[in-house]
Structure 1
Amino acid sequence: MPLNRRTRSIRDALLATAFACAILPGLAAAQAQPPAVARPLEPVAEPIKKGRVGAQEGNAEAGGMQEPEAQPDGIVPSGGVELYQRMGARLPPAPAEKPATGPADEAYGAYQRGLYVTALDLALARAQKGDAAAQTLVAEMMMKGFGIKRDAEAATFWYGQAAERGDPAGMFQYALLLMSGRHVAHDKAKADEYMRKAAEAGNSSAQFNWAQILVSDNPGEKGLKLALPFYEKAAAQGLADAQYAVAQLYVAVKDAPAEKKTQAREWMERAAMAGFDTAQLDMGLWLVNGVGGPRDYEKGFDWLRIAAHRGNVVAQNKLAHLYINALGTRPNPVEAAKWYVLSRRAGLQDPALEDFYLGINDDQQRQAIDAANKFRRG
């Protein structure tokens, strides 16, 4: 079942903050040469917290950046991206489609076609007889108000019934409810159990969330190693957040097999191509700094530019540095100042860029401000 908007945002923030403390410090050592563009630890980043995985309500905002040499490398939380934002992006190959077995699910077919009243009638009849998949479908429709007035309490009941009968999607959704304590008593132990079972049953979102729980409950490299197999399984199913996690872990885990380390960039690129803005930012930085492979300033510039145009504040900041230092592009003081103005307005302070901005002439400053205003209006 798809995650709701707020759950996706919290999930993205969890991934970013988890790596802020556990993973990214190891990237500096993985680089054979000094970084051309550093990504210091964002001052408001915090360790991953227990009980935050998969919460139903919440929000996350992209953080800021400091001067390149001020602090060790770190991660900046991302608000994630919605499906409509990923449309039009060049996507990685889809996982191989599993052959259909058994009879067609008429209720789910009606649901996919938007025939919600029909779907609910068909699914409810089966759900009352103990069909776990139908119970999950009924719960989903009741939770969203499809074909019936929204009823979160009834939806929670049906998610619980589906979870008890082992439906992977039902177990995942019920685990989220147990974790958040909404419409059912908070029970972390039971939530973890259902999340683990859903992950082991092949639900990609549960695999990612169970990996997050393992990282949270097992600090240090132990948790990363326990989580990696579940990140890998979710990544193989096309989950961009998991692809990003796999890429980071392949580089950061000291004794990861050499063949996996060589695949790190591939996974990062797949997450970037799916429209995950944090992956686009890191793909650009990896290429510029030579992480996980040789340096490629032009491709690195391209990825940072994509992330900057999508509104990633850190990418906007780093793009200014590339324009100043002519890395992957020709030097352009007005473009550099434009991107700095945009990132500064978002609250990202950078003394080096401030010195550069004050050093250009008044006409260039006016052009940069005009360009920044046009970008914001666009």
Structure 2
Amino acid sequence: MSYQLRREEVVDAAGLQAMLQHSPGKAAQAILAAAGQGMVEAQLLLGQILLDGLGIEQDARVARRWFAIAAQGGNAMAHNMLGRCHEQGWGGEVNDALAAIHYAQAADAGLDWGLYNLGNMLATGRGLPVNQAQALICYEKAALLGHAKSMNLYGRYLEHGIATAPSPARAVRWYRRSAEAGDFRGMFSLAMVLAERGELAEAGTWLERARLEGNLNFLRSALVTLQGAGPMLTSYAARYAERLQQVERSTL
């Protein structure tokens, strides 16, 4: 990592992002130069491209260090990404307690992803004691900021009355917002409610979108749900099983 760049070539954060789109190698040099000069946004971006191996050799351990440097500079997304490193074991040991600390710092700064990730830790008891009431608050705040995944989870809490009074009508509204914002889990949640109402045409549209856009873990859990959902959704269970096999083969 001995890149050098003339000072006049270093651009602002938006310019670095744009450069990544058309010239990742040159962008990596510029990002490294800007990060070394103390640009916090570039330090965050450097951590990300190191994590992804975009324009630079992949190195999760070094990525974690740059996220830590950017977090020290007060960058909320850097705290969130450092939390992800600790939670997932990217570039070092898994440490849920440290992950929760960094998510909390990102959440305190009002970052939607920090709120979402902190909510997940509170909901599952990883790194923190289980606290569904606080998880609900996190999801609601993130949902109000437009975070699609949080919209779905907030809807789930409302539908099932987790740490709050059940409100099926509000739940459906949040599921729809999540689905329309592009979250495949929100699409599936909305589809299942619509199917229960007998609105099978629209339910089928959302089920198909979720099937095509969902990841491996989602497809596995969705298939189990569909298999137990009754005869009206049997055909979709078969389609999800087919899609799951395709995705599994692609990951081999």
TM-score (norm 2): 0.70
Q: Does 1:307 align with 2:203?
A: no
Q: Does 1:228 align with 2:124?
A: no
Structural mapping, 1:90-109, within 5 Å: 105-109=13-17
User: Is this contact kept in 2: 1:198–1:207, CA < 8 A?
Assistant: yes
Distance in structure 1 (CA, Å) of the matches to 2:241 and 2:13:
52
Which residue pairs with 2:105 in the alignment? 197
Structural mapping, 1:21-170, within 5 Å: 105-170=13-78
Cα deviation, residue 344, structure 1: 10
* Letter in structure 1 aligned against 2:231: A
| Pair 1:171–1:114, CA change in 2 (3 A) | farther
Which residue pairs with 1:342 in the alignment? 238
Please say which structure displays the higher CA radius of gyration. Answer: 1
| Pair 1:115–1:202, CA change in 2 (3 A) | farther
Greater relative contact order (Cα < 8 A, sep 6+): 1
TM-score (norm 1): 0.49
Cα deviation, residue 186, structure 1: 3.3
Which residue pairs with 1:279 in the alignment? 186
Runs of 5+ consecutive residues of structure 2 not aligned to the other structure = 1-10, 212-221, 243-252
* Letter in structure 2 aligned against 1:177: C
| Pair 1:340–1:146, CA change in 2 (3 A) | closer
| Pair 1:123–1:304, CA change in 2 (3 A) | same
Name the SS of the counterpart of 2:22 in structure 1.
coil
Show CA shifts across 1:27-79 (max 9, x none).
xxxxxxxxxxxxxxxxxxxxxxxxxxxxxxxxxxxxxxxxxxxxxxxxxxxxx
User: Is this contact kept in 1: 2:63–2:91, CA < 8 A?
Assistant: no
Q: Does 1:182 align with 2:51?
A: no
**C-alpha root-mean-square deviation of aligned residues, in Å?**
3.3
User: Is this contact kept in 2: 1:247–1:267, CA < 8 A?
Assistant: yes
Distance in structure 2 (CA, Å) of the matches to 1:106 and 1:308:
36
Show CA shifts across 1:281-312 (max 9, x none).
332332344xxxxx4x23x4421454157545
Structural mapping, 1:227-266, within 5 Å: 227-253=135-161, 256=164, 262-266=169-173
| Pair 1:245–1:108, CA change in 2 (3 A) | same
User: Is this contact kept in 2: 1:284–1:304, CA < 8 A?
Assistant: yes
User: Is this contact kept in 2: 1:316–1:343, CA < 8 A?
Assistant: no
Cα deviation, residue 107, structure 1: 4.2
- Identity of aligned pairs, percent? 22
Runs of 5+ consecutive residues of structure 1 not aligned to the other structure = 1-102, 290-294, 323-335, 347-378
* Letter in structure 2 aligned against 1:182: W
* Letter in structure 2 aligned against 1:320: P
Distance in structure 1 (CA, Å) of the matches to 2:191 and 2:179:
9
Distance in structure 2 (CA, Å) of the matches to 1:280 and 1:345:
18
Distance in structure 1 (CA, Å) of the matches to 2:114 and 2:98:
14
| Pair 1:122–1:341, CA change in 2 (3 A) | closer
User: Is this contact kept in 1: 2:50–2:60, CA < 8 A?
Assistant: yes
Q: Does 1:321 align with 2:221?
A: no
* Letter in structure 2 aligned against 1:269: R
Q: Which runs of 4+ in 1 moved over 6 A?
A: 343-346
Show CA shifts across 1:84-108 (max 9, x none).
xxxxxxxxxxxxxxxxxxx953543
Distance in structure 2 (CA, Å) of the matches to 1:106 and 1:340:
43
* Letter in structure 2 aligned against 1:342: A
Cα deviation, residue 237, structure 1: 3.6
| Pair 1:125–1:277, CA change in 2 (3 A) | closer
Distance in structure 1 (CA, Å) of the matches to 2:190 and 2:98:
37
- Work out the number of aligned pairs and report it: 218
